[in-house]
Structure 1
C-alpha cells in the first residue's frame, strides 16, 4: 500500500503534520562545511519537501533530533528542583535504514541496559516516528550490507523521490494524513543491496588477542582524540553531566546532560586525579571492542551499523571500516 504526491500535495501533508509534530530531515546547511565556503548536509526542521536532500548522505546523524547534544534535565535552587517540561509535539524524522537500526541500538542502551529505562530519553523516544528514506544506491564509505543493517521494518512509511514523491509500505498513516493528500500507488521500498566497500566482520573477538594486537598502536599514533568519529556516530550514547550555576543567583542553576565519548580527553577522569585509557590507542581499542564484542555479547547485534560517517569525519583518515575488516581477516586466518 502506498501513495503518490505532487510537490504541492506533499507540502500540504507536511503543513498538516506539523500541527502536532516537528518534522526533521537531511537538509543543506549553507556555509557549514568543514572547509571555507563549503556546505554540509545535516538534520534540520523542514518547511517543505524541496528542503530535503535525497541524494547525499548526511554528515551528522539524525540522533540529535531526539537525543539533544545538550539537554537540560532539571532546574534547582537551595530548596528544591523542578523537572523540565516534556515536549508538546511529537517528532517525525526522515532517515535511512542504517540510522533506524542505530536508533534501535540506542534504545537498547538507554531503555534496556539496567533495571530502569532512562527517563528523559524515554519520554522523547515514545513520541518519535520514522519515515524511511529509500536508499537504492550506496554512498561513499558505507558498509551497511556487511553489518546487516541495510534493511529495516521499523517505520511508519517509506519515502521516495522519483518523478514525484511516494510514500510506500505504509504501516501507520500518521493522523490519517497520508491518504488525505495522496493518490493510491503500487510502490515498494528500495534498500541498498551492495556497498562500494565490503567488510569482513569478526564474529568472535578474543580479548586476549585484541590486547596484543599492534593495530591499536598504529591507529593511536595517528588519532588526535578530537572525538569527531563518536560525535557523528548514530549509535554512540555516552554523555557527561554539568551543573550550571547562574551568575545573577549562584544558589540557582540547572543540570545538563551533554554528549561526550571515550575518545575525548577527560571522559574517564576520576576523583584523585585518576583516569583510564590515557593513550589514544587504548581509546580506539575500547571503542572498537565495545562496538563489535561487548555490545553484541549483551544484546545480540554489533553496535556499529556501517553508516561510514566516522570515516568521512576523521581528519586523520582513520577508517573504522578498515579496522573492522582487518580484525575480521586476522580472525579468519587464526581460525584457519
Structure 2
C-alpha cells in the first residue's frame, strides 16, 4: 500500500466542491440501478452520469465497466438522405471526468490501441470523446470477489487527474491536476490504498512461436466448451476491453431514402457474427468461438501491439456467465495445455 496523505471533504464543503466539478465536467461514476440485475429484484451497478456524489457506489465492483462512457452500446454516426450524409455532432460539450478503478483505466489503454493505433488509422468518433476524458482513480480498499488484477499489474496506475477514497461521510482525495484541488479541504492521515496481491492468481501463457499457437488451437481442452458455452455474448458485453461492433443503416419508415448509420456493440461469441458473403460462417461451433475469444485476449492482441494480454483482471466476464464458465480457470488450462505440447515436443526429439 502506497503511503500518501489525502485531503478530506465532507458535508456542505463536499457538496460545493462537487458542484464545481459539475460546472466543468460531466461526471461518470458507478451508480445503483434498482432491479436492473440478472435476476428479479436484483440491483445492478452501472456507469452513468451523476449529479450528486451520494449516488456513487464505491464499496462494490460495478457490474459493467466505464467503457460505456466512451463507447456507447449504440451510437449514431451519420444521418443520410437520398443524396447527402452528415456526421452526427457530439451532444456532450463538457469534458468527462470518469471515476474508475485502476483496472478499468488500464482497460482504456487497450481501447486506445484498437481505435487509435490499429493499422495507422484513427477512429474519429472515438478520438473526439477520448480527448475529453479525465480519470479520477477510485481506491480499492480490498480485492473484490474473483479479481486477479495483480497477476497482470493492473492493480495500480498513475494515469489519473485525481484519486479518491470514500467512506459513509464523504471523500478523501489527492489532486494531481492542480485545477482540481480544493482550498477548503482539510488535511488527514488517510492514505490511498490498492491491493498488492489477490487470492486468485492466474498464470498467463507466453507463446514462443506461431507453431505453438496453431497446435494449441487443436488441443482437446476446448471440447468441453461445446457443451458448456451457449454463445450468449454476456461475457463480452461485461468485458472492459472488448471492442467488437456492427454498423447498420436504419431507414425511416415514411421515407426509405432517409435514415442513419449506427454503430452497435456486438460479440465474437454470438453465432453469425463472423458470417461472410453468402452468410457462410467461419467459427461454427461454440468451442471455436470461445477459443477465438480467449486466444485474442492472451495472444493475438499482444502479437499486434506488444503490450501484454488484452485483459485487466476484473473477472466481470465470469461473473456474468450463465453457465458459470471461469475465464481465469480457462487461462490456467491453456497454460497447462501449452506445457503438455512442449513436453510432447521434447519426447519426439528424444
* TM-score, normalising length: structure 1: 0.94
Q: Equivalent residue of 1:165, what SS?
A: strand
Q: 1:304 & 1:27 partners in 2: Cα distance? A: 24
Q: 2:220 & 2:262 partners in 1: Cα distance? A: 39
Q: 1:276 & 1:181 partners in 2: Cα distance? A: 61
Q: 1:181 & 1:46 partners in 2: Cα distance? A: 23
- The match for 1:327 among 305, 309, 334 is 334
Q: 1:81 & 1:199 partners in 2: Cα distance? A: 49
Q: 2:6 & 2:234 partners in 1: Cα distance? A: 39
Match of 1:90 in 2: 95
Deviation at 1:198, TM superposition (A): 1.1
Q: 1:9 & 1:236 partners in 2: Cα distance? A: 39
Q: Is the 8 A contact 1:13 1:177 kept in 2?
A: no
Q: 2:136 & 2:334 partners in 1: Cα distance? A: 35
Q: 1:140 & 1:177 partners in 2: Cα distance? A: 32
Match of 1:198 in 2: 201
Q: Is the 8 A contact 2:146 2:315 kept in 1?
A: yes
Gaps of 5+ in 2: 344-350
Q: Work out which of the two has the higher radius of gyration on C-alpha atoms and give 1 or 2.
A: 2
Q: Equivalent residue of 1:293, what SS?
A: helix
Size of the aligned set, in residue pairs, is: 333
Match of 1:118 in 2: 123
1:59-78 → structure 2 map (5 Å cutoff): 59-78=63-82
Q: Equivalent residue of 1:234, what SS?
A: coil
Q: 2:50 & 2:232 partners in 1: Cα distance? A: 30
Q: Equivalent residue of 1:305, what SS?
A: coil
Range 34-43 or range 97-106, more displaced: 34-43
Q: Is the 8 A contact 1:3 1:178 kept in 2?
A: no
1:1-336 → structure 2 map (5 Å cutoff): 2-86=6-90, 87-162=92-167, 164-168=170-174, 170-173=175-178, 176-185=179-188, 188-204=191-207, 206-300=212-306, 301-332=308-339
Deviation at 1:196, TM superposition (A): 2.6
Q: Is the 8 A contact 2:27 2:50 kept in 1?
A: yes
Deviation at 1:333, TM superposition (A): 5.6
Gaps of 5+ in 1: none
* TM-score, normalising length: structure 2: 0.90
Range 3-12 or range 241-250, more displaced: 3-12
Q: Is the 8 A contact 2:101 2:139 kept in 1?
A: yes
Deviation at 1:183, TM superposition (A): 2.9
Deviation at 1:188, TM superposition (A): 4.4
Q: Is the 8 A contact 1:229 1:311 kept in 2?
A: yes
Q: 2:93 & 2:49 partners in 1: Cα distance? A: 16
Q: Is the 8 A contact 1:140 1:196 kept in 2?
A: no
Deviation at 1:226, TM superposition (A): 0.6
Range 79-88 or range 126-135, more displaced: 79-88
Give the superposed CA RMSD: 1.7
Q: Equivalent residue of 1:323, what SS?
A: helix
Range 279-288 or range 155-164, more displaced: 155-164
